[in-house]
Amino acid sequence: MFLWTTPRVRRIFGTTKDLAEQTKVLAANQGLYNGFLAAGLLYGLVTGNFAFKWFFLLCVIVAAVYGGLSTGKPRIMIVQGLPAVLALLALLILG
């Protein structure tokens, strides 16, 4: 959210300095959404609330699928979605 224009993050996402500057508000907005997802997952872990964990893991999976399909980069589905799928499976198996 705050590092979008740094060389390392630009390299990871394949953006130029100019593009990163032009899109930094959008990236900050996306970072805020990701922060809310993380807060929901953390709340579910701390309280043991099954419904919260289930809901927020599904949100991460949907976001990963959409990100992979909308960008034409299926690797996004693996990098973002696989950990959530594994966590969801563990949640279902272990309760």
Tens of pLDDT, residues 43-81: 999 999 999 999 999 999 999 999 999 999 999 999 999
What pLDDT was estimated at residue 80? 93
Q: Which of 77, 52, 55 is nearest to 64 (CA)?
A: 77
pTM of the model: 0.79
Predicted pLDDT at 95: 77
Q: What type of residue sits at position 4?
A: W
What percent of the chain clears pLDDT 70, i.e. is strictly above it?
A: 100
d(CA 6, CA 70): 24
Q: Which residues contact 26 (CB under 8 A, 6 or more apart)?
A: none
Task: Answer whether 5's CB lies under 8 Å from 24's CB.
Answer: yes
